[in-house]
């Protein structure tokens, strides 16, 4: 089969950084290594999210993207040549499936942690906007027609982008 860099669903892939071994068992081991590297990054990211370590979380993003791209390239090659890999050792294929199942659970945990982080950031943003509005109401003054200062009793438009 020609190496056309097309996945099973006809979505072009970029030129892969890794070329899988011709031996199906070795290639599946390469796939498991790529998945294990991605799992390791997700595990570190989950720990960073649990401990609210934003710096560590941000530092992991480049590694996560790199590991995910490596995994994608490996998976695309296996899908492209799936007939050849169907001949791999069944125990090795089962181990890969078990790793995929474990990885799926880990991604669910990761998504839940990211959702919690998102909700926390939204609550913080809402609190900041409310505090700014309260301060504007408390400290708002304006000039009357005769030039004297007057305390503002009605709500003040702040003109800030609250989506930030």
Q: What is the pLDDT of residues 72-97, one digit of tens each?
A: 999 999 888 888 888 889 999 899 99
Q: What is the pLDDT of residues 101-130, one digit of tens each?
A: 999 999 999 999 889 888 988 998 989 988
Q: For residue 116, report the phi and psi dihedrals to the nearest 5 degrees.
A: -60, -45
2 — pLDDT class (breaks 50, 70, 90): very low
Cβ atoms of 80 and 1 closer than 8 Å: yes
Report the pLDDT value the prediction gives residue 148, as an integer from 0 to 100. 66
Q: How far apart are CA 17 and CA 19, in angstroms?
A: 7
40 — pLDDT class (breaks 50, 70, 90): very high
Give the residue extent of every domain in the chain: 24-144
Report the pLDDT value the prediction gives residue 13, as an integer from 0 to 100. 45
pLDDT above 90 coverage of the chain, percent: 43
Q: What is the pLDDT of residues 6-16, one digit of tens each?
A: 333 444 444 45
pLDDT averaged over every residue in the chain: 80
152 — pLDDT class (breaks 50, 70, 90): low
Which residues lie closer than 8 Å to 133 by C-beta, 6 or more apart? 155, 156, 158
Per-residue pLDDT for 35 more than 50? yes
Report the pLDDT value the prediction gives residue 21, as an integer from 0 to 100. 86
């Amino acid at each position: 089969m020609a190496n056309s860099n097309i996945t099973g669903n006809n979505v072009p892939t970029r030129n892969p950084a890794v070329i899988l071994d011709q031996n199906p068992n070795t290639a599946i081991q390469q796939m498991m290594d790529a998945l294990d590297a991605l799992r390791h990054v997700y595990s570190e990211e989950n720990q960073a999210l649990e401990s609210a370590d934003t710096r560590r979380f941000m530092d992991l993003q480049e590694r996560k993207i790199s590991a995910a791209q490596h995994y994608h390239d490996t998976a695309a090659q296996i899908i492209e040549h799936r007939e050849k890999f169907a001949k791999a050792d069944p125990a090795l294929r089962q181990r890969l499936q078990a790793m995929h199942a474990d990885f799926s659970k880990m991604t669910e945990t990761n998504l839940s942690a990211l959702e919690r982080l998102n909700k926390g950031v939204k609550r913080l943003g809402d609190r900041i906007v409310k505090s700014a509005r309260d301060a504007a109401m408390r400290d708002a003054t304006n000039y009357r027609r005769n030039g004297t200062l007057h305390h503002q009793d009605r709500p003040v438009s702040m003109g800030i982008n609250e989506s930030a």
